[in-house]
């Protein structure tokens, strides 16, 4: 069953043009791919983490690891309502969008779905991997008992949008498009029932003083119409803490109210090595705001670059009261570079306790090297990796795809998984799109985030390509321009396994070999920090290597740029351009 959907794009001059014909393919179990001999079937997937830090720092009974979410779960935002915590993250061009997690204690987290889980909310079909959905913020308004998520979606003629719900477990509304520019919006609901939006924006025309000069604006927000109030915008921070220092990229503002004072907390310094978190205070939500004398309150930028178990780029934080109400906690993004200082796991979600017993919030140990583990809040039991809670540390995740519903950790890029996958007793079938992994278009690849610097990922695949345009296998994917493909294709009457490396959009075949496909083949990638090896087995027991040891450089944000981490994909295409030599 196929539906053709027109995607419309409004240009700045108001003209409407057809962006594309996007094919939405509903792939239910047993419905779409069973008769296609060139559709691969993946019968299992095993991911195993092997980072040294978790071997060197085993947990004691009253400890838990930070990051609390490993891999590409950046830009965390958090809210507490009653005893429930909800946390959301950026998803860029991944589909579904904005993963949402739930916890009762800040230690044990379950993913309960995605906020943007259908095409009416998410239209990233033609977004580069680091475009799409940026920096969500989640808030609760007690005056109407409603949860709100506000974010910027650089796709589908959306811009800044708000969605809302009475119950985060039951799904979210379609988007309310907002009439303001800029990025990183956040809502604030005051005790008197009034609502506000704060966000990052460019300075007024002609007033940009240097590259990276940004401002924080505030608007009044109309709750009845879910729209900012025209003409109420006001700049409340110009540049950052001290404009004379030429601070860059003041962004991701959050307003908190405590002791009748309003606190504005923002990221500053850009999301790389100079990243930090700063805070301001005011008697009024609309300002004026004065910076704390001790800014930044969170950063790793001043430390020895050669420190052990290095964590860096810390910032983009959000605050919440802890489960015992005795202190606050802050969630934030940071990275764990590998031994060559490359960032393959992407921006991850970390947590620290926050002392707010005085005038200013203070991240405990937020300006010294982070430790890999923390003391748990009193009375909390560490159940990570058990009872459906997300694992952390070194763990093994196994999937046989026997469930009718995919685990929430699996995502597509520019395409919802249900558009190209189906499950059955045999495993996961991928119906290939007529696009390959290098296209800025929906790709038929089901992705799992790389969550460790050192890991292995192994899958068993049954596949018989019909022509050289057919290919299926594994991909290690940083973006459309930087990736590895490890798959089976056909040349003349022979079947080949090949390893292709794509850097800056240019592809080369690292190695290829004839392969027997009479039986299912096992494909495996093993990473030891920057060293990646691609292995295969035709007998289910003995693995052989193809291509030797290759560099993971193209899977790092240092080389590829952008904001995402590397992902491992189960991949198929009917537009293969990688041919054995």
Q: Which residues are catalytic?
A: 75, 251
Query: Is residue 342 within 8 Å of residue 530, measured between CB atoms?
Result: yes
Cα–Cα distance, 16 to 471 (Å, whole number) = 37
Residue with tokens 């068993």: 460
Other CB atoms within 10 A of residue 405 CB: 8
Strands of the 132-141 sheet, one edge to the other? 132-141, 146-154, 159-165, 176-177
Cα–Cα distance, 174 to 86 (Å, whole number) = 19
User: Which residues, other chains included, contact 228 with Cβ-Cβ below 8 Å and sequence gap of 6+?
Assistant: 178, 179, 180, 197, 219, 220, 221, 222
Which structure tokens are listed for 84?
A: 């429930």
Query: Is residue 355 within 8 Å of residue 347, measured between CB atoms?
Result: no
Cα–Cα distance, 45 to 47 (Å, whole number) = 7
Strands of the 312-321 sheet, one edge to the other? 312-321, 328-335, 348-355, 362-363
- DSSP per position, 141-204: ETTTTEEEEEEEEESTT-EEEEEEES-GGG--PPPEE-S--SEEEEEEE-TTS-EEEEEEEPPS
Cα–Cα distance, 102 to 110 (Å, whole number) = 5
Which structure tokens are listed for 548?
A: 């030797």
The three-class DSSP label of residue 92 is strand
Q: How far is CA 76 from CA 134, 162, 171, 455, 518, in A?
A: 11, 17, 19, 24, 46
């Amino acid at each position: 069953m196929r539906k053709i959907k027109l995607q419309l794009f409004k240009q700045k001059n108001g003209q409407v043009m057809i962006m594309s014909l996007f094919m939405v393919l509903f792939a239910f179990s047993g419905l779409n791919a069973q008769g296609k001999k060139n559709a691969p079937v993946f019968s299992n997937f095993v991911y195993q983490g092997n980072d040294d830090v978790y071997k060197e720092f085993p947990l004691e009974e009253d400890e838990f690891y930070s990051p609390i979410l490993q891999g590409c779960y950046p830009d965390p935002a958090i809210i507490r309502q009653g005893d429930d915590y909800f946390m959301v993250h950026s998803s860029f061009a991944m589909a579904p969008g904005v993963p949402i997690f739930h916890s009762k204690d800040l230690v044990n987290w379950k993913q309960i779905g995605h906020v943007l889980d259908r095409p009416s909310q998410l239209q990233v079909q033609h977004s580069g991997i680091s475009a799409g959905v940026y920096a969500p913020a989640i808030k609760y308004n007690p005056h109407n008992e409603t949860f709100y998520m506000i974010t910027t979606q650089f796709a589908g003629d959306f811009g800044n949008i708000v969605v809302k719900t009475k119950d985060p477990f039951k799904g979210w509304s379609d988007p309310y498009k907002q009439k303001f520019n800029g990025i990183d919006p956040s809502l604030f609901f005051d005790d008197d029932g009034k609502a506000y939006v704060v966000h990052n924006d460019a300075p007024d025309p002609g007033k940009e003083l240097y590259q990276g000069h940004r401002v924080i604006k505030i608007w009044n927000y109309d709750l009845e119409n879910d729209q900012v109030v025209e003409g109420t915008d006001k700049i409340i921070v110009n540049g950052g803490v001290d404009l004379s220092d030429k601070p860059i990229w003041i962004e991701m503002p959050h307003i908190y109210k405590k002791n009748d004072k309003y606190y504005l907390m923002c990221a500053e310094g850009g999301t790389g090595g100079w990243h930090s978190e700063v805070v301001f205070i005011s008697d009024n939500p609309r300002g004026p705001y004065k910076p704390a004398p001790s800014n930044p309150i969170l950063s790793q930028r001043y430390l020895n670059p050669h420190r052990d178990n290095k964590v860096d780029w810390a910032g983009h934080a959000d605050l919440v009261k802890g489960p015992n109400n005795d202190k606050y906690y802050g969630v934030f993004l940071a990275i764990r570079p590998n031994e060559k200082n490359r960032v393959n796991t992407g921006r991850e979600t970390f947590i620290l306790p926050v002392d707010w017993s005085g005038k200013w919030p203070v991240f405990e140990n937020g300006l010294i090297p982070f430790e890999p583990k923390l003391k748990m809040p009193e009375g909390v039991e560490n159940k990570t990796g058990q009872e459906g809670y997300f694992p952390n540390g070194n763990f093994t995740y196994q999937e046989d795809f026997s469930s009718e519903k995919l685990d929430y950790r699996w995502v597509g890029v520019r395409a919802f998984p249900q558009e190209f996958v189906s499950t059955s007793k045999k495993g996961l079938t991928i119906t290939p799109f007529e696009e390959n992994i290098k296209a800025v278009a929906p790709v038929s690849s089901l992705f799992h985030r790389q969550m460790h610097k050192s890991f292995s990922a192994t899958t068993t695949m049954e596949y018989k390509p019909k022509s050289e345009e057919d290919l299926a296998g594994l991909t290690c994917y940083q973006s459309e321009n930087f990736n590895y493909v490890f798959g089976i294709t056909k040349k003349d009457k022979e079947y080949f396994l090949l390893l292709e490396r794509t850097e800056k959009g240019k592809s080369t075949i690292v190695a290829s070999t004839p392969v027997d496909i009479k039986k299912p083949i096992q494909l495996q990638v093993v990473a030891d920090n920057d060293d990646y090896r691609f292995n295969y087995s035709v007998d289910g027991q003995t693995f052989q290597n193809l291509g030797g040891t290759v560099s993971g450089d193209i899977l790092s944000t240092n080389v590829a740029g952008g904001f995402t981490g590397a992902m491992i994909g189960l991949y198929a295409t009917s537009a293969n351009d990688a041919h054995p030599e």
